[in-house]
A and B are shown apart, each in its own frame.
Chain A
Amino acid sequence: MAAHLSYGRVNLNVLREAVRRELREFLDKCAGSKAIVWDEYLTGPFGLIAQYSLLKVNELFGQLLVIFLRHRLTLLLRVDEDRRGPTRDFHILFVPRRSLLCEQRLKDLGVLGSFIHREEYSLDLIPFDGDLLSMESECAFKECYLEGDQTSLYHAAKGLMTLQALYGTIPQIFGKGECARQVANMMIRMKREFTGSQNSIFPVFDNLLLLDRNVDLLTPLATQLTYEGLIDEIYGIQNSYVKLPPEKFAPKKQGDGGKDLPTEAKKLQLNSAEELYAEIRDKNFNAVGSVLSKKAKIISAAFEERHNAKTVGEIKQFVSQLPHMQAARGSLANHTSIAELIKDVTTSEDFFDKLTVEQEFMSGIDTDKVNNYIEDCIAQKHSLIKVLRLVCLQSVCNSGLKQKVLDYYKREILQTYGYEHILTLHNLEKAGLLKPQTGGRNNYPTIRKTLRLWMDDVNEQNPTDISYVYSGYAPLSVRLAQLLSRPGWRSIEEVLRILPGPHFEERQPLPTGLQKKRQPGENRVTLVFFLGGVTFAEIAALRFLSQLEDGGTEYVIATTKLMNGTSWIEALMEKPF
């Protein structure tokens, strides 16, 4: 059992167990020792469901070969190669569902028939933490918003049906955006088709809020400033793991002289099972230092206690606590090192310059002319994605750029990074991230003022508002969730109409015995589903709201993908096949 999944208001271990059970059933069906070939994209998410001991990987000379596959055509050619080896029995497991394209391809390669078992394993939503679920579908945004392919939405709806089967029907559904509307429709339709068996589980969730990513294109573009957000921005967190440069983590041994310096990256798991991490992950980075130094004092003091242990009983008690103290000390050492690594970045001149420009844009300053810092970045050939994030941020904060400014940036980018990026720039335009201003009207100031997106006095140490996650900017998406809870969306009708897509409310009837009666002082539980991706900063902001004294609502977060501005833009770049 993964302890950290039970911490929250909703016990997500139930989901994890259900999903593991299904996997075991499939594997048992393929009798005998198995060798498993993975679509490497799946190994990460699966690691969250089952330890590898459950999926024993034998040498490839085993009788059976089990292949776990996401529907990606390029992978299938390798499948074919594998098959040409010594005779084996093959089974194939499509995750999350069989794909006609893949089967067609297998057929064309003449190998479809050789698979004994062809099944699908509906792993739609994977629990990442006690309040976090993700589909880890990196192409969802592109498919939904650029190509009009709604398959990911279908999976989102299916994932939600699974959740409802385990945790009860969700009585109220709110949404903003085209995709949100589609998912809600699919859910209602699926429920209708499921006639006969009523769901008798007492509902855990009070509300579901579906949000399109394109309702808030701004937030992922800005640099996150929470501890976890910065780790993701700088090093990238994959399936709760991060790979870090090893030098700072080498154990300091006397007289070693550094001859055994590790060369492989240090891999750390990051989730709320680690006490210290749970405490600092969502804080603004500037507030982390003081927590770490306080912790250092506490741990030091705890170790000093051994001097006070006189009786056998006291010594015994001290020794029994040692493992916990040692774990705490190790945890502290790790995070102190990570914090140092991050500090090297955040105190650099370039980071400061970049942040200054971002904050200028977000507060509405000079968004309508070519920006010097961006030009310098292009001239010095900084990373293309860094440049794209900045120009897109400017575009979004200006409701599109003046044609002259846009053409200027485009030309500089194409001449510096290559003409082939015309295709990427087109994708960005289609996504609404980098486009010409139509209608000559900039809506962003209205949205910013009405929703109070820019807060001048931010308290990073003891925040009072969600804007602390970006040291001044309150994530638009989270603001919408906050206002829905109190006082409700009727108060922001006008702004909602400016933002893209319809907004709506649906009710799902519950059998009378299951009507939720809330105790006085008990919080509502809202599931917020980001369709197209969510950042750690937004998650931190929602967690902040959950723990507010008089907040009234606790949040569980679901999404198609955990992402940041860099991975997001990267997914929109056109690459050769």
Chain B
Amino acid sequence: MNRTKGDEEEYWNSSKFKAFTFDDEDDELSQLKESKRAVNSLRDFVDDDDDDDLERVSWTGEPVGSRTRPGSFQSLSDALSDTPAKSYAPELGRPKGEYRDYSNDWSPSDTVRRLRKGKVCSLERFRSLQDKLQLLEEAVSMHDGNVITAVLIFLNLTPACLPEILFRELEVRQIALRHLIHFLKEIGDQKLLLDLFRFLDRTEELALSHYREHLNIQDPDKRKEFLKTCIGLPFSAEDSAHIQDHYTLLERQIIIEANDRHLESAGQTEIFRKHPRKASILNMPLVTTLFYSCFYHYTEAECNGTISAHRNLRLLDKQYVLTALAARAKLRAWNDVDALFTTKNWLGYTKKRAPIGFHRVVEILHKNNAPVQILQEYVNLVEDVDTKLNLATKFKCHDVVIDTCRDLKDRQQLLAYRSKVDKGSVEEEKIDALLSSSQIRWKN
């Protein structure tokens, strides 16, 4: 899908996109934004400083040296920012009693080193963009995620560093860029994250990141609407088709769910009375939905396109047959099962065929406790002789075993099987008749 830059602008600025805000329920993100705003409006945090005792304990095998000097220092994210723009605002306040150690003259590399050790540091002196970027470069070379994040936060909110400028600079700084992306994901700033992806022209990530949000939307209608906004995003060709299918499926599920819930509560429909629904069909995978439809809505009158609609979602014939088979077998609707495999050729003769091996059909029928006559019929259709014999023996389809042994002219096996059938039964007679028949040229 090709989108021009203009389209994309329009897309991001259109009302549809704005519609994707979260409910006013208590979700983390809105709470966070609220409290950030609240925090920003308070000035007394700076004075109410009980962070003096902040220490750092870490193992050193060395005698107490520079690394474990006790003392007070402020956390980087303490206090608040003077700039009103963004909500998260780490700016360093003044620590109490650390003035001896406080200097204005540290180079970027010193600053970063101190940051890593959690020492007093003011980043305010890095005013120009160049200074800031140098600071960032130093942070990156340290590989310390915490420090890089701190610097990025700092860069992000000062006026000299508007998002576009920041983005442009980060484009060539891969490591810092990755940290920013990770940070934005953690903090849940979806908008900035998407802006960043858009700027970098990382279109597929943009699309995926946007799509990912649907997992957080519980209300089915809202989720459906959101999925609609995902269609046409720059996914790969294959993925675009899947996203479209996702939307279509959910749209359909909402209709089915509403309809069936109504039917169920009305209590008039037999299938729902006999087999009450255990769960809602919403957000279930395609194959599950198909099973559901084949189970509850299979009859002629109700077919009304639901099932063929599912099949239109690029479902393989094979999958459809397996699913329909499972559903009808569960309901012991053997005629329906029969119809699944019967095709009429142009002369009007029927023939049974399956896009899956008949051994699979037999297994599913057996799992659903199909009567022996039905099983027998399908075991007979298994092409591979060994498999056929195996299954017939396993499922006690005597006639098939007998007939197959006869066809294979395998006397020994027939003899062995005789002991497995009931004494005096029809099958036993049949076996005896065969064994004594002079017509058959047994091979053993």
- List the interface of chain A (C-beta within 8 A of B): 18-19, 22, 25-26, 73-74, 77, 97-101, 103-105, 107-110, 112-114, 116-122, 143, 147-151, 153-154, 162, 165-166, 182, 185-186, 193-194, 196-197, 199, 201, 376, 379, 381, 407, 410-412, 414-420, 422-423, 426, 574-577
Nearest Cβ distance between residue B270 and chain A, in whole angstroms?
28
Query: Across the interface, do A147 and B50 meet the contact criterion of CB distance under 8 Å?
Result: no
15 interchain pairs (CB within 8 A)? A22-B57, A97-B146, A100-B153, A113-B45, A116-B53, A117-B54, A119-B55, A165-B59, A411-B314, A415-B286, A415-B313, A419-B249, A422-B208, A422-B239, A575-B215
Given contacts A22-B57, A120-B58, A426-B208, 4 further A-B contacts (CB under 8 A): A108-B36, A194-B62, A419-B242, A419-B249
Using known A-B contacts A109-B35, A415-B285, determine if residue A150 contacts B143 with beta carbons closer than 8 Å: yes
Main SS class of interface, A = helix
CB neighbours of A22 from chain B (8 A): 57-59
B340 within 8 A of A: no
Taken residue by residue from 88 to 104, chain B's Cβ proximity to chain A (1 for < 8 Å, 0 otherwise) reads as 10100000000000000
B234 within 8 A of A: no
CB neighbours of B24 from chain A (8 A): none
Nearest Cβ distance between residue B321 and chain A, in whole angstroms?
10
The segment from B5-13, B175-183, B258-266, B402-410 found at the interface with A is B175-183
Quick one: closest A residue to B113, CB to CB? Answer: A193
Q: Which 3 A-B pairs have the closest CB atoms?
A: A165-B61, A148-B178, A151-B145
CB interface residues, B 127-185, toward A, < 8 Å = 143-146, 149-150, 153, 174-175, 178-179, 181-183
CB interface residues, B 51-81, toward A, < 8 Å = 51, 53-63, 65, 75-78
Quick one: closest A residue to B36, CB to CB? Answer: A108
Nearest Cβ distance between residue B35 and chain A, in whole angstroms?
4
B287 within 8 A of A: yes
Contact of A77 among B28, B55, B216 (CB under 8 A): B28
Nearest Cβ distance between residue A81 and chain B, in whole angstroms?
12
User: Please, how many angstroms separate the alpha-carbon atoms of A122 and B87 in the complex?
Assistant: 30
B186 within 8 A of A: yes
Quick one: closest A residue to B40, CB to CB? Answer: A108
User: Please, how many angstroms separate the alpha-carbon atoms of A526 and B78 in the complex?
Assistant: 44
Query: Across the interface, do A154 and B59 meet the contact criterion of CB distance under 8 Å?
Result: no
B212 within 8 A of A: yes
Query: Across the interface, do A577 and B28 meet the contact criterion of CB distance under 8 Å?
Result: yes
Taken residue by residue from 240 to 284, chain B's Cβ proximity to chain A (1 for < 8 Å, 0 otherwise) reads as 001101100100000000000000000000000000000000011
Nearest Cβ distance between residue A30 and chain B, in whole angstroms?
11
Query: Across the interface, do A412 and B319 meet the contact criterion of CB distance under 8 Å?
Result: yes
Query: Across the interface, do A151 and B238 meet the contact criterion of CB distance under 8 Å?
Result: no
User: Please, how many angstroms separate the alpha-carbon atoms of A414 and B314 in the complex?
Assistant: 11
Contact of A154 among B49, B78, B145, B182 (CB under 8 A): B145
Nearest Cβ distance between residue A403 and chain B, in whole angstroms?
9
Number of B residues, CB within 8 Å of A: 74
CB neighbours of A196 from chain B (8 A): 65
Query: Across the interface, do B65 and A104 meet the contact criterion of CB distance under 8 Å?
Result: no
B200 within 8 A of A: no
CB neighbours of B183 from chain A (8 A): 101
Query: Across the interface, do B214 and A420 meet the contact criterion of CB distance under 8 Å?
Result: yes
Query: Across the interface, do B181 and A147 meet the contact criterion of CB distance under 8 Å?
Result: yes
CB neighbours of B285 from chain A (8 A): 414-419
Using known A-B contacts A154-B145, A423-B208, A574-B212, determine if residue A107 contacts B77 with beta carbons closer than 8 Å: yes
Using known A-B contacts A98-B75, A100-B146, A379-B319, determine if residue A149 contacts B182 with beta carbons closer than 8 Å: yes
B315 within 8 A of A: yes
CB neighbours of B211 from chain A (8 A): 422-423
B39 within 8 A of A: yes
Nearest Cβ distance between residue A46 and chain B, in whole angstroms?
15
CB neighbours of B286 from chain A (8 A): 414-416, 419
Quick one: closest B residue to A193, CB to CB? Answer: B113
Nearest Cβ distance between residue A410 and chain B, in whole angstroms?
7
CB neighbours of B38 from chain A (8 A): 110
Quick one: closest B residue to A186, CB to CB? Answer: B143
Nearest Cβ distance between residue B323 and chain A, in whole angstroms?
9
CB neighbours of A194 from chain B (8 A): 62
Query: Across the interface, do A410 and B238 meet the contact criterion of CB distance under 8 Å?
Result: yes
CB neighbours of A98 from chain B (8 A): 56, 75, 118, 146
Nearest Cβ distance between residue B220 and chain A, in whole angstroms?
14
Contact of A422 among B56, B87, B242, B287 (CB under 8 A): B242
Nearest Cβ distance between residue A13 and chain B, in whole angstroms?
15
User: Please, how many angstroms separate the alpha-carbon atoms of A109 and B88 in the complex?
Assistant: 12
- List the interface of chain B (C-beta within 8 A of A): 28, 32, 35-36, 38-39, 45, 48-51, 53-63, 65, 75-78, 87-88, 90, 113, 118, 143-146, 149-150, 153, 174-175, 178-179, 181-183, 186-188, 208, 211-212, 214-216, 238-239, 242-243, 245-246, 249, 283-287, 313-316, 319, 322, 360
Query: Across the interface, do A122 and B58 meet the contact criterion of CB distance under 8 Å?
Result: yes
CB neighbours of B186 from chain A (8 A): 73, 101
Contact of B216 among A109, A121, A576 (CB under 8 A): A576
Nearest Cβ distance between residue B20 and chain A, in whole angstroms?
15
Contact of A576 among B35, B57, B215 (CB under 8 A): B215
CB neighbours of B39 from chain A (8 A): 107-108, 110
CB neighbours of B182 from chain A (8 A): 143, 147-149
Query: Across the interface, do B144 and A154 meet the contact criterion of CB distance under 8 Å?
Result: yes
Nearest Cβ distance between residue A328 and chain B, in whole angstroms?
38
Using known A-B contacts A147-B178, A423-B211, A574-B215, determine if residue A100 contacts B58 with beta carbons closer than 8 Å: no
Using known A-B contacts A100-B150, A415-B319, determine if residue A119 contacts B56 with beta carbons closer than 8 Å: yes
CB neighbours of A116 from chain B (8 A): 50, 53
CB neighbours of A109 from chain B (8 A): 35
CB neighbours of B283 from chain A (8 A): 418
CB neighbours of B319 from chain A (8 A): 379, 412, 415-416
Nearest Cβ distance between residue A319 and chain B, in whole angstroms?
46
User: Please, how many angstroms separate the alpha-carbon atoms of A199 and B61 in the complex?
Assistant: 9
B153, B285, B316, most chain A CB atoms within 10 A: B285
Using known A-B contacts A25-B57, A104-B90, A116-B50, determine if residue A379 contacts B322 with beta carbons closer than 8 Å: yes
CB neighbours of A193 from chain B (8 A): 113
Query: Across the interface, do B242 and A414 meet the contact criterion of CB distance under 8 Å?
Result: yes
Quick one: closest B residue to A430, CB to CB? Answer: B205
Query: Across the interface, do B149 and A100 meet the contact criterion of CB distance under 8 Å?
Result: yes
Quick one: closest B residue to A196, CB to CB? Answer: B65
User: Please, how many angstroms separate the alpha-carbon atoms of A423 and B60 in the complex?
Assistant: 42
User: Please, how many angstroms separate the alpha-carbon atoms of A26 and B55 in the complex?
Assistant: 11
Query: Across the interface, do A122 and B144 meet the contact criterion of CB distance under 8 Å?
Result: no
Contact of B243 among A25, A105, A422 (CB under 8 A): A422
Using known A-B contacts A104-B88, A165-B62, determine if residue A118 contacts B75 with beta carbons closer than 8 Å: yes
Query: Across the interface, do B76 and A420 meet the contact criterion of CB distance under 8 Å?
Result: no
Query: Across the interface, do B287 and A416 meet the contact criterion of CB distance under 8 Å?
Result: yes
Quick one: closest A residue to B26, CB to CB? Answer: A77
User: Please, how many angstroms separate the alpha-carbon atoms of A112 and B46 in the complex?
Assistant: 12
CB neighbours of B242 from chain A (8 A): 410-411, 414, 419, 422
CB neighbours of A379 from chain B (8 A): 319, 322, 360
Contact of B59 among A114, A122, A143 (CB under 8 A): A122
Using known A-B contacts A110-B35, A110-B38, A154-B145, determine if residue A103 contacts B50 with beta carbons closer than 8 Å: no
CB neighbours of B215 from chain A (8 A): 420, 574-577
User: Please, how many angstroms separate the alpha-carbon atoms of A379 and B291 in the complex?
Assistant: 12
Query: Across the interface, do B60 and A151 meet the contact criterion of CB distance under 8 Å?
Result: no
User: Please, how many angstroms separate the alpha-carbon atoms of A530 and B158 in the complex?
Assistant: 41
Nearest Cβ distance between residue B14 and chain A, in whole angstroms?
24
B55, B143, B175, most chain A CB atoms within 10 A: B143
Query: Across the interface, do A99 and B146 meet the contact criterion of CB distance under 8 Å?
Result: yes
Query: Across the interface, do A149 and B153 meet the contact criterion of CB distance under 8 Å?
Result: no
User: Please, how many angstroms separate the alpha-carbon atoms of A186 and B147 in the complex?
Assistant: 15
Quick one: closest A residue to B50, CB to CB? Answer: A113
Nearest Cβ distance between residue A127 and chain B, in whole angstroms?
13
Query: Across the interface, do A120 and B144 meet the contact criterion of CB distance under 8 Å?
Result: no
Query: Across the interface, do B59 and A162 meet the contact criterion of CB distance under 8 Å?
Result: yes
Query: Across the interface, do A118 and B178 meet the contact criterion of CB distance under 8 Å?
Result: no
Query: Across the interface, do B53 and A101 meet the contact criterion of CB distance under 8 Å?
Result: no
